[in-house]
């Protein structure tokens, strides 16, 4: 066995023209991708159904299970269509029209663009900042009228059609779960997606609404809450507690908050997730330069390394694997960087997190034992993934969490959890026989060898059929 046979940090790759062929999907999965993300901002339902089935087929060919995340669009404010792009200059007066076709006051020589959200006029205030096209164009609101609001251009820019608008500090009264989101999610549910990523989450109630929708349609998909604006930061703790997984979506978030706050927010989000055992994803611009070149910048290497040092569960690629020229090289770079940092952490690891819950204290005992034994692995049996995720929440320093489940859904859900290697085993049956079958599978796969220590967390039953938790220590014979 290799001295470092597995990577703790999970890799999420977004699918696009560069990676949607079955051949490339197989290569991505074999290269180390744990979760495949579908960006539903512009995806059609026929394509979505086809690609989900293709991902499952590719996983079978690769003989590795992979999870599928559907990232739904959420509420979005965009500019309308323009016949020709506009070059905006500092000091220029410019209008945003919320009622297309309406007369504008003093419109002579004032250029304008339509906005797709009519009630924006009620949400925005004089003095607010409007950011267009990922923050490249900055404007200040000067006046509000019935059909438009007037701004002064602060930074120059080239404005083309359908550009995204950000409004830092403005509470926008758009629904978090739109009609488009409902239609997209229904397709995902029918095709058996594993995760739904909810965009622009502002409060815990947004997650509760989506959870109700998933239950109504009998879906076992887990919820990923994306934090992307200042409202989400204000409600961060309640969002983390309400969701299944958190994503620090640094694209829009980096536009919405002062730039110097972004690393502080990322660190706080990761620490809060670790404190309650919630998986966390670091996303956007991880290896942005590799869209067009085969090597990352030194700053990108450090950025990925910081996510691994913080012990985030996942790092995510977007444009790098959707339209980039080097998707496989991006996966290899993430794999190489995170493995190296994990080796470094293992030599000076922090104490496991302390949880109040009794069962989490039991799992902490197992992790401490595994940390102190050379060549130890944590072996657990889990139907819904709770035991495996609980072990991973304590961030074991050396031992992998080899998790056996009798549910394929659980196996896929665990693909997003740091340090967990999920396996399928069914049925469970007698505990001793089940442990024996699991050990046989791991020996055959070369995952364990003679002399290794197994810290086993499993159910045991008394003669009266009373269940209790147990921690066992065995040596592989």
Q: Which helix (H) or strand (E) holds 102?
A: none
SS3 state at 467: strand
> Tokens at residue 274, please?
């670790």
**284 is known as an active-site residue:** yes
| C-alpha triplet 112, 118, 122: angle, nearest 5° | 100
Euclidean distance between the first and final Cα of the chain, in Å? 16
Catalytic residue among 56, 78, 104, 111, which?
78
**447 is known as an active-site residue:** no
The β-bridge relationship of strands 137-144 and 222-227 is unpaired
SS3 state at 339: helix
Catalytic residue among 7, 138, 222, 226, which?
226
**226 is known as an active-site residue:** yes
Phi-psi region of 240 (alpha: psi -120 to 50; beta: other; left: phi over 0): alpha
Residue of 193, 98, 89, 86 whose CA lies nearest to 415: 193
Phi, psi of 46 (to 5 degrees): -60, -45
Contact indicator for 213, 53 with CB cutoff of 8 Å: no
Catalytic residue among 97, 284, 322, 338, which?
284
Phi, psi of 95 (to 5 degrees): -110, 140
Q: Which helix (H) or strand (E) holds 209?
A: helix 204-216
The β-bridge relationship of strands 129-132 and 165-166 is antiparallel
Residue 89 has a CB neighbour count (10 Å cut-off) of 11
Contact indicator for 367, 391 with CB cutoff of 8 Å: yes
The β-bridge relationship of strands 93-97 and 86-88 is unpaired
Residue 173 has a CB neighbour count (10 Å cut-off) of 10
**Cα–Cα distance, 18 to 146 (Å, whole number):** 45
Lookup result for tokens 């896929």: 412
Task: Kindly list the distances between the CA atom of residue 424 and the CA atoms of 96, 413, 444, in Å, as whole numbers in the listed order.
Answer: 55, 12, 14
Catalytic residue among 7, 37, 395, 447, which?
37
Where would I find the H helices in 1-119? 22-31, 45-62
Q: Which residues of 91-128 are buried (b: 16+ CB within 10 A; e: fewer)?
A: ebbbbbbbeeeeebeeeeeeebbbbebeebbeebeeeb
**Cα–Cα distance, 347 to 14 (Å, whole number):** 33
Q: Which residues are catalytic?
A: 37, 78, 226, 284
């Amino acid at each position: 066995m290799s001295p470092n046979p597995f990577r703790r940090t999970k890799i999420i790759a977004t699918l696009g023209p560069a990676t949607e062929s079955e051949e490339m999907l197989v290569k991505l999965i074999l290269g180390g991708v744990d979760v495949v993300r579908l960006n539903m901002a512009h995806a059609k339902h026929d394509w979505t159904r086809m690609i989900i089935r293709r991902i499952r087929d590719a996983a079978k060919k690769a003989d590795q299970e992979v999870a599928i995340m559907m990232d739904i669009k959420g509420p979005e404010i965009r500019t309308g269509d323009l016949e020709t792009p506009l070059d905006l200059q500092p000091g220029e007066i410019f209008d945003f029209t919320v009622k297309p076709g309406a007369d504008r006051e003093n419109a002579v020589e004032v250029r304008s663009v339509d906005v797709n959200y009519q009630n924006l006029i009620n949400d925005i205030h004089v003095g607010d900042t409007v950011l267009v096209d990922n923050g490249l164009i900055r404007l200040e609101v000067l006046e509000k009228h019935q059909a438009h609001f007037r701004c002064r251009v602060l930074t120059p820019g080239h404005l083309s059609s359908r550009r995204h608008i950000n409004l830092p500090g403005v509470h926008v009264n758009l629904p978090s779960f739109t009609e488009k989101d409902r239609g997209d999610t229904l397709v995902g549910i029918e095709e058996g997606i594993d995760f739904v990523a909810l965009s622009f989450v502002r409060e815990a109630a947004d997650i509760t609404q989506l959870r109700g929708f998933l239950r109504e349609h009998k879906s076992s998909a887990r919820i990923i809450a994306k934090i992307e604006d200042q409202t989400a930061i204000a409600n961060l703790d309640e969002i983390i507690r309400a969701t299944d997984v958190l994503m620090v979506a640094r694209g829009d978030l980096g536009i919405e908050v002062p730039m110097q706050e972004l690393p502080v927010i990322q660190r706080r989000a990761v620490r809060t997730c670790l404190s309650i055992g919630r998986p966390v994803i670091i996303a956007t611009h991880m290896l942005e330069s590799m869209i067009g070149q085969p090597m990352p910048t030194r700053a990108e290497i450090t950025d990925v390394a910081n996510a691994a040092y913080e012990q985030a569960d996942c790092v995510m690629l977007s444009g790098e694997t959707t339209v980039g020229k080097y998707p496989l090289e991006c996966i290899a770079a993430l794999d190489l960087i995170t493995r190296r940092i994990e080796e470094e952490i293992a030599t000076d690891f922090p104490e496991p997190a302390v949880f109040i819950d009794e069962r989490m204290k039991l799992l902490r005992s197992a992790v401490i034992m595994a940390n102190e034994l050379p060549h130890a692995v944590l072996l657990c049996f889990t139907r819904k993934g709770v035991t495996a995720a609980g072990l991973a929440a304590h961030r074991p320093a050396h031992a992998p969490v080899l998790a056996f489940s009798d549910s394929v859904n659980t196996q896929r859900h665990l693909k997003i959890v740091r340090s967990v290697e999920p396996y399928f085993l069914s049925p469970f049956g007698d505990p001793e026989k089940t442990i024996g079958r699991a050990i046989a599978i791991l020996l055959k796969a070369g995952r364990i060898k003679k002399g290794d220590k197994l810290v086993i967390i499993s159910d045991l039953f008394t003669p009266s059929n009373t269940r209790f938790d147990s921690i066992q220590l065995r040596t592989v014979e």
